[in-house]
Amino acid sequence: MRFDDSNWQDATIQTHSAWGNNPTDIPREAKWIWTAGDTSDTQVYCRRRLHPVNGDVVSGRVTCDNFAEFFVDGQLETSTDTCSVSYPVSFPDTSLILAFDCRNKDGIAGIRGSFTNGVVTDSSWRCSTSAPEGWNKLG
Ligand SMILES: [Ca+2]
């Protein structure tokens, strides 16, 4: 059975000026996203469905304020701990679900990423403060 994210919220774009344009190797089209709860939500999960293509490799760069794990179809791809730095990832374009688990330590919070298949973090992602079994996979 597929994981049902219909009760997850649309990602809220965050615009805290403290981030400036960092990390600069992630394009501006990629927004910082979080839940609508902003800094009152300390651990946030965001996911996005992909439409599988033909087996080419997608590369990307991801980060989070403050600590993230980034998953593709439930597999851990990278961990991040510095929001001013982006972390490289790559995965086949037959993948189905991209997912972040990000924990905020203090102050502002956000998740940001950009991928060569054109996907960027924006309001099309789905976010939640809880992560039921299977949250980072299609299901
Ligand atoms: Ca923070």
Q: pLDDT band at residue 43, thresholds of 50, 70 and 90? A: very high
CATH assignment at residue 74? 2.60.120.260
How many domains, the chain?
1
**139 C-alpha to ligand 1 centroid (Å):** 30
**124 C-alpha to ligand 1 centroid (Å):** 22
For 62-114, give the DSSP string: EEEESEEEEEETTEEEEEE--TTS-EEEEEETT--EEEEEEE--SS--EEEEE
Res 27 pLDDT > 80: yes
**83 C-alpha to ligand 1 centroid (Å):** 8
**102 C-alpha to ligand 1 centroid (Å):** 10
Residue 138 lies in a domain: no
Res 21 pLDDT > 90: no
- Both tokens of 116, joined, read 């060569």
Name the residue with higher pLDDT: 21 or 119: 119
- Average pLDDT of the residues in 118-130: 98
pLDDT in tens, 48-94: 999 989 889 999 999 999 999 999 999 999 999 999 999 999 999 99
**Rounded distance between C-alpha atoms, residue 105 and residue 50, angstroms:** 30
**65 C-alpha to ligand 1 centroid (Å):** 5
Residue 118 lies in a domain: yes
Asked if 87 and 63 touch (Cβ cutoff 8 Å), the reply is yes
The amino acid at 103: R
**48 C-alpha to ligand 1 centroid (Å):** 22
Residue 111 lies in a domain: yes
Q: What's this model's pTM, rounded to 2 decimal places?
A: 0.96
Residue 64 lies in a domain: yes
- Both tokens of 61, joined, read 């760069």
Q: pLDDT band at residue 123, thresholds of 50, 70 and 90? A: very high
